[in-house]
Amino acid sequence: MANKIIISGGGTGGHIFPAIAIANALRQLQPDIEILFVGAQGKMEMERVPAAGYEIVGLHIQGFNRQAMWKNVLLPFRLLGSLWKARKVLKDFGAKAAVGVGGYASGPLLIMANMMGIPTLVQEQNSYAGLTNKRLGEKAKKICVAYENMDRFFPKDRILLTGNPIRRSSVQIEGKREEAINAFGLDLSKKTVLVTGGSLGAKTLNDCVLEGLDKLMDAGVQVIWQCGGFYHEALTEKLADKLPDSVKMLPFLERMDYAYAAADFIVARAGAGTISELAVIGKPVVLVPSPNVADDHQTKNALALADKKAAIMVSDMSASIHLVDELIKLINDEASAYELGQRISEFALPDADTVIAQEVLKLIK
């Protein structure tokens, strides 16, 4: 009889991509395995997971709203309803193990799995564990982490340093530089900077590039600028005919492997998934952590690298003053750039998806 696994969580691409990567790895190890996802109703996983070829069930669950406290009135009822539905899903599906990758839905699902005696595995992507994962980790059989010293949050004997699952297609850049530069219509002889704010874009990064365009052009570099779909139209209007040929502004990057292959320097936010990809890419990086995330975990992720001289960190608040200058200083300092690339590579754990999938299967045995 085929093994049955439930994977829960989502809310952001940073949770969904690792979840799908773990599912794909499980399928590779056991082609007849049955996998069901559990997500939060109305969140992006309800579209992304079926698009990846997996079935998903949605729970009516929400996070705690710190900005508008009145919106939390229904939270206890939604939590109770989600726990009841999670129990029904676990029982009806006949799950042999449950995996939580973070996000609203992983809480009720793993709480109920633990109560029913179904073994659970927590995948913590950040260097600073959130409240939900800390609680789930108390009962989990295994906690897979991406950073060292996570025994501050979890029982030491159950922690395994695996890294974060990454989109393998995005980091396969070997021998693609010329092809990538040509695809973007850029110059092979110039240094290239990739600025990426993720699929939604990042206002701070966009403002910095906008203000610093002249400085970047004077530095003789070319730029791949992924500004996000939300900002693209307004920026296109604002720049009109003023955008130099050596700056390619795009709402999305369809081929992330081309963007990484073309880049000599990268400016990015500090989400866990992004950092895991950047470590495998092994190029000099300037990180600008987003301040709009729970527990300010992006700053903690960035500091974990900056403290080991594996990346340069510029705070969101000071980016308008320092980001472009720090970037140009780095571009002109080949020794520092080389060292940053070498050091961030030491954080690379490219087979995280397979290692985590193997741990999930061990739980069943």
> pLDDT of 269-278, one tens digit each?
999 889 999 9
Q: Give dist(CA 251, CA 245) in Å, integer.
A: 17
Contact 193, 216 (CB under 8 A): yes
Residue 298, marked binder? yes
> pLDDT of 231-254, one tens digit each?
999 999 988 888 889 999 999 998
Looking at residue 227, what is its pLDDT? Answer: 95
Contact 12, 44 (CB under 8 A): yes
Residue 114, marked binder? no
Looking at residue 72, what is its pLDDT? Answer: 61
Distances (CA, A) of 280 to 173, 258, 261: 10, 15, 12
User: Side-chain half-sphere of 259: how many Cα atoms within 13 Å?
Assistant: 25
Q: Is the pLDDT of residue 1 over 90?
A: no
The CATH class of the 4-165+350-364 domain is alpha beta
Domain range summary for the chain, segments of one domain joined by +:
4-165+350-364, 169-345
| CATH fold match for the domains 4-165+350-364 and 169-345 | yes
Looking at residue 295, what is its pLDDT? Answer: 72
Residue 132, marked binder? no
Q: Is the pLDDT of residue 64 over 60?
A: no
Please give the average per-residue pLDDT across 28-35, as a whole number: 96
Contact 30, 121 (CB under 8 A): no
Question: Cα(first)–Cα(last) distance of the chain, in Å?
Answer: 14
Residue 172, marked binder? no
Looking at residue 92, what is its pLDDT? Answer: 96
Residue 185, marked binder? no
Looking at residue 17, what is its pLDDT? Answer: 87
Looking at residue 67, what is its pLDDT? Answer: 61
pTM of the predicted model as reported, rounded to 2 decimal places: 0.85
Architecture of domain 169-345: 3-Layer(aba) Sandwich (3.40)
Q: Return the higher-pLDDT residue of 267 and 168.
A: 267
> pLDDT of 70-124, one tens digit each?
666 666 666 787 889 999 999 999 999 999 998 778 899 999 999 999 999 999 9
Q: Give dist(CA 364, CA 358) in Å, integer.
A: 10
3-state secondary structure of 4: strand
Report residue 347's pLDDT band, with 50, 70 and 90 as the boundaries: very high
Residue 117, marked binder? no
Residue 199, marked binder? yes
Report residue 127's pLDDT band, with 50, 70 and 90 as the boundaries: confident
Q: Is the pLDDT of residue 66 over 60?
A: no
